[in-house]
Amino acid sequence: MKYEEIIRSNETIEINGNDVFTSEPEQDLFEFIGDNHVATSVDTPMRSDAFDMSDKEKMKAIEGHFEKIMETMGLDLTDDSLKGTPHRVAKMFVKEIFSGLNPENMPKISVFDNKFKYNEMLVERDITLNSTCEHHFLPIYGKAHVAYVSSGKVIGLSKINRIVDYFARRPQVQERLTVQIAEELKRALDTEDVAVVIDAKHMCVSCRGIQDESSSTVTASYSGKFKDPQTREEFLKYI
Ligand SMILES: [Zn+2]
């Protein structure tokens, strides 16, 4: 059942073993999705007109909207310190923290032939990860660990960081981010033998809601040879 249908149906539903009471279906379900960080699809949900506007037009529009948010909160936008904030936020959204929404910013991936005949797993660990929770627009930050076994192709190491960074620069759900990175690596390297683990903290968990400072969330995607417990064990030992 799709989420839209669940919202419309007027009864108690179950998601991941949790009963969701739907007498006020929209509110309850949206709260549930947000607080439990449920992802509705592997692809980032985008509108078909997502790129009709240029970056410049988007920045202009977001600047105006953010100004309204600040005004609504009662902030004085004539103050020198606040005056430039709507513009700064708009620029940061479009050019920096959400630049990974635009396929034009996808890193160019070049792969090379595996001349050294290195057939063991290659692990790149502790890749810095900065993303944004799509349910609360608050930071997600932590580390990504990536491994693959070459099928004959190898990738420049910095490209792995760039792939992680590209998908992180979107409003995200950690599970989806993990899968998007894995899928792109599989495609680029032409192999199923890919593993991705992300260990990250969510500001929306530490500074609101449950307010838990210490917990972090670990998500993993194992494909191909990494489905084998021994191979997975080796990878986990390295990270
Ligand atoms: Zn959140």
- pLDDT tens-digit profile of 103-121? 999 999 888 888 877 778 9
Of 136, 145, 172, 180, the active-site residue reads 136
Cα of 173 vs centre of ligand 1, distance in Å, is 8
Tell me the C-alpha distance between 159 and 170, whole Å.
Answer: 18
14-36: per-residue pLDDT in tens?
A: 544 444 444 444 555 666 666 66
Q: What is the pLDDT of residue 1?
A: 39
**pTM reported for the whole predicted model:** 0.84
Whether 172 sits among the annotated catalytic residues: the reply is no
The answer to whether 180 is a known catalytic residue is no
Is residue 202 part of the annotated active site? The answer reads yes
Query: In this predicted structure, what is the pLDDT of residue 213?
Result: 85
Using the mean position of ligand 1's atoms as its centre, give its distance from the Cα of residue 209 in Å: 9
Low-confidence stretches of the chain (pLDDT beneath 70): 1-40
**pLDDT at res. 36:** 66
- Measure 113 CA to ligand 1 centroid, in angstroms: 41
pLDDT at 111: 87
Identify residues whose C-beta is under 5 A from ligand 1, the ion.
133, 135-136, 204
What is the Cα–Cα distance from 84 to 175, expressed in whole angstroms? Answer: 35
Instruction: Give the per-residue pLDDT at 23.
Output: 44
174 in catalytic set: yes
What's the gap in Å between 107 CA and the centre of ligand 1? 27
pLDDT of residue 58: 98
The active-site residue out of 37, 145, 174, 184 is 174
From the list 133, 145, 180, 184, the catalytic residue is: 133
> Residue 214's pLDDT is what?
87
Catalytic, out of 63, 67, 135, 145: 135
Cα–ligand 1 centroid distance for 188 (angstroms): 30
> How much distance in Å is there from the Cα of 203 to the middle of ligand 1?
7
Query: Ligand 1 centroid to 102 CA: how many Å?
Result: 22
CA 36–ligand 1 middle distance (angstroms) = 8
Which pLDDT value is given to residue 8?
44
What's the confidence (pLDDT) of residue 21? 45
Distance 119 CA to ligand 1 centre (A): 40
To the query of whether residue 207 is one of the catalytic residues in this protein, the response is no
Q: What pLDDT is stored for residue 2 in this prediction?
A: 46
Per the residue annotation, which of 63, 67, 134, 184 is the catalytic one?
134
